Amino acid sequence: MTSFIELGLLKPICEAVAREGYSQTTPIQQQAIPTIVAGRDVLGVAQTGTGKTAAFALPILHRLAENRVALRPRRVRALILTPTRELAVQVGQCFGTYGALLRLKRVVVTGGVGMQPQIAALHGGTDILVATPGRLLDLMARGAANLDAVECFVLDEADRMLDMGFINDIRKIVGCLPVARQTLLFSATMPPMVGSLAATILKDHQRIEVTPAATTVDRVDQRVMFVAKDRKRDLLLSLLKSGTVSRAIVFARTKHGANRLAEQLEKSGISAEAIHGNKSQGARQRALSEFQAGRVIALVATDIAARGIHVDDVSHVINYELPNEPESYVHRIGRTARAGAEGIALSFCDSEEIAYLRAIEATIRQPVPADEAHPFHCPATARMRLNSAAKPPKRMGGGGNGQRPRGRPQNGRRAA
């Protein structure tokens, strides 16, 4: 393994990273940081939990600190686009943490909060702007942000960005950027749309792929629990009250379902919060803060909202409802086993979800082991799984590359 100082990063950056307890780079950091420092465009294919944010944040901080320029009104030097508000906030926090010993200005702009403070923050210009696409376009339309001085542009979570329908917004924003710039595109998977986008915005880029797209996190202990649909809540309560779950993200398929489940958990004495796109930014941030602080044991989330959740020490991911797109399973279970830790992913499967389970197993090219010891085990549903095994799996969504996970990464805390 390589240390951060060996990659040639400025001493204040290495000191800030060391303060957070990180000493060794992850594979994506080891490969991406020197390439980005050298000024090349990068296409990074990296699963969640691999240290991707630091892989672009550290070299951007290095570049901005080494080449200081006077800030100009409403101008931006480095722009990072993220698909969700939560991810924007956390990326902004990473820049603040790693750049704590540098005199660089950063601003985070997202929807769901007032625009005037953001306009004021951008008035004198900023070194780093982390933004969601819609709010950035609103600010640009009001003349509060100008992108003609951007030196480095990062498109983070590109696959989710396109899944959420941001392609036109991205094209508008890219059209306002200088031609002479460095562009970094990071994605957990590489569907055709992401490849097409990369071809249009990257120049002479280096592709860095440290983990095959759409594979499971090797450190996650995955299990499927067959259960009747009307006993799922009983199974969830049994697990959360067992004392073995310290912090869990529970996935529901819909916003309404997430709200209802969180309310039911609270009524049963389990501290829970729901997080999804219909919640205000303030409510979402409060829920995430309570979860991070350990005052909430269960965060009930939808797929889109959860893409921005990067919290260490999540002991369990619980798929209360299986996703109808198998790639979402990979993103979900990646919320645990972060920063070198191990984690457990439990998937509840009722009789109507057997096809979803088969599609997931086809995507990850391995069966998910069954846990038949729990008190709500449904033998009839388990038999349906066995009977379906002889049939060709029906795909429920887009495709992954079907590769098995690579070897177990080295343990030890790494930058998030």
Lowest mean pLDDT across 170-184, 242-256, 382-396: 382-396
Give the domains, in start order, of the chain with CATH numbers. Answer: 5-209 (3.40.50.300), 220-388 (3.40.50.300)
* Average pLDDT of the residues in 252-267: 94
User: Could you tell me if 106 and 99 are in contact, meaning their C-beta atoms sit under 8 angstroms apart?
Assistant: yes
Between the CA of residue 71 and those of 117, 148, 187, 275, what are the distances in Å?
18, 13, 30, 37
**What would the pLDDT profile of 285-322 be if each residue is shown by its tens digit?**
888 889 988 999 999 998 876 666 777 788 999 999 99
Please give the mean pLDDT across all residues of the chain. 87
**pTM listed for this prediction:** 0.66
Query: What percent of the chain is modeled with pLDDT above 90?
Result: 64
pLDDT of residue 306: 64
Residue 212, burial from CB neighbour count under 10 angstroms (0-12, 13-18, 19+): middle
pLDDT band for 119, please (50, 70, 90 cuts). very high
Give the model confidence (pLDDT) of 217-230 as tens digits: 567 899 999 999 99
Tell me the average pLDDT across 62-72.
96
**Residue 407 confidence (pLDDT) above 60:** no
Residues 322-379: tens digit of each pLDDT: 998 887 888 888 888 665 567 899 999 999 999 999 988 887 888 999 999 999 999 9
Collapsed DSSP state (helix, strand, coil) of residue 45 = strand
Is 70 exceeded by the pLDDT of residue 250?
A: yes
Q: Is the confidence at residue 233, as pLDDT, over 90?
A: yes
Strand partners, 311: none
Given CA atoms 353, 354, 359, 362 in this order, what sign does their dihedral have?
positive
Tell me what pLDDT residue 377 has: 97
pLDDT in tens, 161-177: 988 889 999 999 999 99
pLDDT range class, residue 413, cuts 50, 70, 90: very low
Phi-psi region of 224 (alpha: psi -120 to 50; beta: other; left: phi over 0): beta
